[in-house]
């Protein structure tokens, strides 16, 4: 990482291209610069001798000596740092001491001197500030009380900026600001996503997706909590059979009790209840009164009254009909009167 702008208050005692300082950079303004840089779609250029600024004046090309990854900017206690990728020619020039220093170009607040953004950097041998060799720093330019976005639009080729942002050629300053703000917001979302996925801060989308896939481990079920389906089916069948046998036993007992206490008047009713099942039998017995006559206790000692018709139903049988909802005729058909 290379220091691009120093922390604290600094000046250009030997003069700068524009502006005279003092300038100031603290952590809050550095964080703002980092956010602005993250919204850029291009790397920050490092040229030779500020030729990017002088090209319009001298008509000479402005080749790059290197590039700063805008997403690599970070604040440290002694200044703003960034990751630099040098061209082969610049590496050679630095290696043989043809060039030794850096000089940043930034807009600043004319009243406070606070640094507002980092536009580009120059490789030079005449830095405005003595801070050491190549990985240190240099000079500055441009005073501005306006939004740093506006200053950058003034400095950078406006047409190129508009094209890079995908706007119409007649885009207004407000439209440019809105687009830059949207890019910044999108980058903040992307940064949060990278952090959530545990990906590197400068990871490309494909790398972030790879990190997500690497972090997803298919869950394995605890097989001790399961049994084979065949075993489960077998147990269900056995349980059903057990329930059926238990129900049959209970139904048989209920019918026997009903016959004994007179709630079931005869075998025909018993057979009918057996066919209806356990639940129907319980409902029937719950509503049928115990009939003493069917247990052998009656005024006529089991004999019909003298004036009773041979096929007439007794009071007991009528009670059974009322309890079971069977008509007397149907009951008599199912239970013929005994021979006199």
pLDDT digits (tens, 9 = 90+) for 160-187: 778 778 888 788 877 888 888 888 777 7
What confidence tier does 13 reach under pLDDT thresholds 50, 70, 90? Answer: low
- The residue to which tokens 């009167």 are assigned: 337
More confident: 312 or 218? 312
Closest among 26, 63, 27, 28 to 47, alpha carbons compared: 63
Based on the fold, state whether residues 18 and 79 are members of the same structural domain. yes
What confidence tier does 136 reach under pLDDT thresholds 50, 70, 90? Answer: very low
Question: Crossing angle for the helix pair 267-276 and 229-261, nearest 10 degrees?
Answer: 160
294 located within any domain: yes
Helix (H) or strand (E) holding 101: strand 101-105
More confident: 281 or 46? 46
**Hey, which residues does 86 pair with through a beta bridge?**
66
Based on the fold, state whether residues 243 and 302 are members of the same structural domain. yes
Determine the pLDDT at residue 99.
93
Coil/strand/helix, residue 331:
helix
Based on the fold, state whether residues 280 and 145 are members of the same structural domain. no
Determine the pLDDT at residue 83.
95
What pTM value is reported for the model? 0.41
In the sheet that 74-76 helps form, which strands lie side by side, from edge to edge?
2-6, 79-82, 74-76
More confident: 204 or 37? 37
Domain boundaries, position 62: 2-202
Helices (H), 109-265: 148-155, 158-165, 173-197, 205-215, 229-261
Determine the pLDDT at residue 307.
55
Q: Rounded to whole angstroms, how far apart are CA atoms 175 and 338? A: 109
Q: 335 phi and psi, to 5 degrees?
A: -130, 85
- How many domains, the chain? 2
Of 63-72, 121-130, 208-217, the one with minimum mean pLDDT is 208-217
What confidence tier does 196 reach under pLDDT thresholds 50, 70, 90? Answer: confident
Torsion region of 204: left, alpha or beta (phi above 0 gives left; psi -120 to 50 gives alpha):
beta
State the distance between the two ends of the chain, measured CA to CA, in whole angstroms.
122
Based on the fold, state whether residues 138 and 271 are members of the same structural domain. no
Based on the fold, state whether residues 235 and 146 are members of the same structural domain. no
pLDDT score of 74 more than 70: yes
214 located within any domain: no
Of 18-27, 31-40, 130-139, 170-179, the one with minimum mean pLDDT is 130-139
Based on the fold, state whether residues 11 and 134 are members of the same structural domain. yes
pLDDT score of 140 more than 60: no
Share above pLDDT 90 across residues of the chain, in percent, rounded to a whole number: 25
Average pLDDT over residues 121-141: 57
What confidence tier does 142 reach under pLDDT thresholds 50, 70, 90? Answer: very low
pLDDT score of 24 more than 70: yes
What confidence tier does 88 reach under pLDDT thresholds 50, 70, 90? Answer: very high
Taking a C-beta distance cutoff of 8 angstroms, is the pair 40, 58 a contact? no
pLDDT by residue (tens digit) across 109-119?
888 889 999 99
Q: Which of 184, 202, 220 lies at the terminal end of a domain, its last residue?
A: 202
């Amino acid at each position: 990482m290379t220091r691009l702008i120093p922390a604290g208050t600094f000046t250009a005692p030997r003069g700068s291209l524009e502006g005279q300082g003092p300038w100031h950079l603290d952590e809050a303004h550095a964080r703002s610069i980092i956010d602005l840089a993250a919204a850029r779609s291009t790397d920050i250029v490092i040229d030779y001798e500020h030729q990017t600024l002088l090209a319009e004046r001298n008509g000479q090309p402005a080749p790059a000596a290197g590039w700063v990854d805008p997403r690599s900017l970070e604040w440290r206690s002694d200044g703003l740092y960034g990751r630099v990728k040098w061209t082969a020619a610049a590496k050679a020039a630095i290696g043989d001491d043809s060039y030794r220093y850096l000089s940043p170009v930034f807009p600043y607040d004319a009243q406070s001197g606070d640094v507002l953004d980092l536009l580009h950097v120059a490789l030079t041998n005449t830095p405005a500030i003595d801070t050491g060799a190549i990985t240190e720093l240099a000079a500055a330019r441009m005073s501005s009380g306006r939004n740093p976005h506006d200053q950058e639009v003034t400095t950078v080729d406006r047409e190129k900026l508009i094209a890079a942002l995908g706007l119409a050629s007649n885009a207004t300053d407000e439209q440019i600001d809105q687009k830059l703000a949207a890019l910044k917001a999108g980058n903040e979302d992307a940064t949060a996503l990278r952090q959530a996925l545990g990906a590197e801060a400068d990871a490309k989308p494909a790398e972030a997706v790879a990190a997500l896939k690497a972090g997803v481990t298919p869950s394995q079920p605890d097989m001790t909590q399961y049994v084979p389906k065949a075993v489960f089916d077998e147990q269900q069948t056995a349980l059903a059979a057990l329930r059926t046998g238990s129900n049959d036993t209970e139904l048989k007992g209920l019918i026997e009790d009903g016959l004994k206490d007179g709630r079931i008047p005869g075998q025909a009713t018993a057979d009918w209840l057996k066919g209806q099942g356990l639940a129907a039998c319980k409902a029937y017995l719950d509503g049928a009164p115990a009939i003493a006559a069917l247990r052998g206790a009656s005024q006529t000692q089991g004999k019909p009254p003298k004036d009773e018709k041979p096929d007439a139903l007794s009071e007991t049988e009528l009670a059974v009909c009322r309890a079971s909802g069977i008509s007397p005729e149907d009951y008599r058909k199912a239970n013929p009167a005994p021979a006199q």
